[in-house]
Structure 1
Amino acid sequence: MFPRKIIIVVLLALFFYESNTVQAQTPANKSLLAEAEKILAASAFTILNGDDTEDRLRADSFFTRQLVQALRTPYSFHYGFDSLKTISRLYAPDSSFRIITWQLMKDFSYYRYKGAIQMNTKDGSLKLIPLYDGADFTENPYDSIRTNQNWIGAVYYNIIQKEYNNKKYYTLLGYDENDARSTKKWIEVLHFDLEGKPLFGGKFFNYPNDINKPKQPVSRFCLEFKKQANAKLNYDAKLDRIVFVKLMSESNEPNKKHTLVPYGTVEGFKWEYGRWVYIPEYEAVEPD
């Protein structure tokens, strides 16, 4: 059992932490952020659903400026912006940062991704790292570690925290509309350098080459498949694995990614010694 003094110290530390967090979230701050959220909600909806390209571009520009202004409110990190349903807001499991991402469609064949990382600062000040979509400026999006300046864009829907050699790694699962014929789902490992700058990708994947998957070596993993085929890729917390559907070409043309559809079985990855290691389909599901 823990000594009584240690338990008291821990409880006091938790009490003061929670008290400070509550005090930081003053009624005035909450009111400012709630008003900003109402303004942001309208433009966020238009970014995704506006009928005209100009309307979507204008809404995106307005949203970006207003979001940054709202995040300058002290301790905005703790405000969830829950009504922004078309904007992804994922907190790291350790609450060290949150990543905000969204999609801007210019037409049905061209999509851009926007985003930012907001760090959790002790004094409540804003430390915001913008993300710039560099996918249009590369022929091989799998080839290298990238920074916030040439990020491979996606709307992230899950985040998994792992550790190796006392360093934290955050695996992001993302959705990318890609173009008029195919959709992509990404597995991207985010980590931070000694200066606190984000790095995306690295030697984190171990799997045999497969015509349906990016050819090894890769710095990030991607499933590309037929538009609206709804190919599953997500983290199974119970199994502690990333599980994704096996794909096959419906026209026997596997080189044409827009012909790939779910096959009915699944594959996966498990975290081992700082890498996502491939799991064959017969091991990727929970045994009966």
Structure 2
Amino acid sequence: MTKKIVLLFSFLISSYCSFSQLPDAAGIQQLRKFQDSLQLLSQEVFSGKGDDGRLQANEDFIPMLVKALKIKNSFHFTFDSLKTVSVLYPQDSAFRVFTWALERENGFYRHYGAIQMKTADGQLKLFPLFDASDFMTNTDTITDNKSWYGCLYYNLLHSRYFNQDYYTLFGWDANNPRSQKKIIEMLTFKNGLPVFGGPFFSFAEDSVKKPTQNRFIIEYKKESTATMNYNKELNMIVYDHLISETNEPGKKYTYVSDMDYEGYKWQAGKWMHVHKIFHDAIPLGKGAPIPQPLIQKNKNMSNPKSAEDYQAEGKNTPPPKKPVKKSS
């Protein structure tokens, strides 16, 4: 009986501590007002008329978001009305990351974001993210928040190895009028500061050895769709194997899926490359998704569609024609 009472008190104390970290009534009211204004601005950033209008909306959005986040315990206010802004928390809720995109009239994109840390006193600790991807001559590098590889994050995994926390970020970059990209990179914290990238993508088990990569990127045809996400059933990252549909491997904007799938498995603090996931037969109940053509006007900037998404939604749009692989 005594043990049950102790457990009950422990539960009540932890519950009180959890609720006590929420914004107070006045703070929630302020945050809701900010959210309404931010929602309108975010829609203007996404679909406003002309570059000038979208840029101005973005310039107004950023300081307003910072003002909202300065409200004590704002970390626990989810901003779930911001449909064109991705807000992701890892499983341990140590931080959250905001990302969004601004499309230019020339079809190119620039990304914006920030990492808000969870703090014991509820005060704001924020790392703004500055998109430097257009100026990177080498994308396989380790960066900080001031030289971020800009993209819109759509998934976030938390892993631990030897008491170290690792966060795997999955990002989408609408890129330019001819191609789009998906990115996987690791986020770690060193001396309390965010570090993007690192030697975590290994090809040591491949028959053809390649150097370990700091960041993994696929680029493919604008109208095509490629899967790259964590698969819970397989307990690994799964992504489409891509080939040039015009047999021009140097032109990434011609790449499409050939219906094969590669992946990465978490092993000893690294993502270990798996060259081929499905072999002679696909396991029962774990069918590979069928890529669907991307309709640009239906794009969702805070939830980019993958082949798995289309399949789950039951869309019956026929897949794009694929090059037929020749048997050896």
- Alpha-carbon separation, structure 1, partners of 2:10 and 2:23: 19
For 1:220 and 1:81, locate their aligned partners in 2 and report how far apart those are by CA, in whole Å. Answer: 29
1:252 equivalenced with 2:247 (yes/no): yes
For 1:201 and 1:11, the matched residues in 2 are separated by 43
**Aligned residues of 1:173 and 1:187 also touching (Cα < 8 A):** yes
Change in Cα spacing, 1:200 to 1:9, as seen in structure 2 (3 Å) is farther
Unaligned segments of structure 2, at least 5 residues: 285-328
User: Is contact 1:239–1:286 with CA below 8 Å preserved after alignment?
Assistant: no
What's the CA shift for 1:286?
6.3
Of residues 43, 65, 83, the one that matches 1:45 is 43
Which structure 2 residues correspond to residues 42-191 of structure 1 after superposition, within 5 A?
42-142=40-140, 144-191=141-188
Rounded to whole Å, the distance in 1 between the matches of 2:176 and 2:81 is 28
Q: Matched residues, percent identical?
A: 41
Comparing 28-37 and 277-286, the one that deviates more: 277-286
How many equivalent residue pairs? 279
In 1, Cα distance between equivalents of 2:282 and 2:194 = 34
- 1:25 CA displacement: 2.9
Task: Please give the alpha-carbon distance, in whole angstroms, between the structure 1 residues aligned to 2:30 and 2:69.
Answer: 10
CA contact (8 A) 1:209 1:216 kept: no
Q: CA RMSD in A?
A: 2.1
Contact 2:200 2:212 in 1 (8 A): no
| Matching residue's letter, 1:275 | K
Given the alignment, which residue of 6, 15, 26 partners 2:12? 15
Q: Secondary structure at the match of 2:116?
A: strand
| C-alpha deviation, 1:123, in angstroms | 1.1
TM-score, structure 1 as length reference: 0.91
- Aligned match of 1:232: 227
Query: Could you give the per-residue CA deviations for residues 140-199 of structure 1, whole angstroms, max 9, x where no partner exists?
Result: 111x21101101011000001111111010000000011111100000100001x21000
Q: Is the Cα contact below 8 Å between 1:43 and 1:63 reproduced in 2?
A: yes
Residue in structure 2 matched with residue 198 of structure 1 by the alignment? 194
Structure 1 residues 58, 248: closer, same or farther in 2, change over 3 A?
A: same
1:83 aligned counterpart, secondary structure: coil
Match of residue 215, structure 2, among 204, 211, 220: 220
* Cα shift at 1:12: 3.0
1:33–1:70 CA contact under 8 A, matched in 2: yes
Structure 2 distance, partners of 1:204, 1:88, is 25
Residue equivalent to 2:203? 207
The answer as to whether partners of 2:187 and 2:196 remain within 8 angstroms in 1 is yes
Query: How far apart are the structure 2 equivalents of 1:83 and 1:255?
Result: 41
Secondary structure at the aligned position of 1:139 is classed as coil
Unaligned runs of 5+ in 1: none
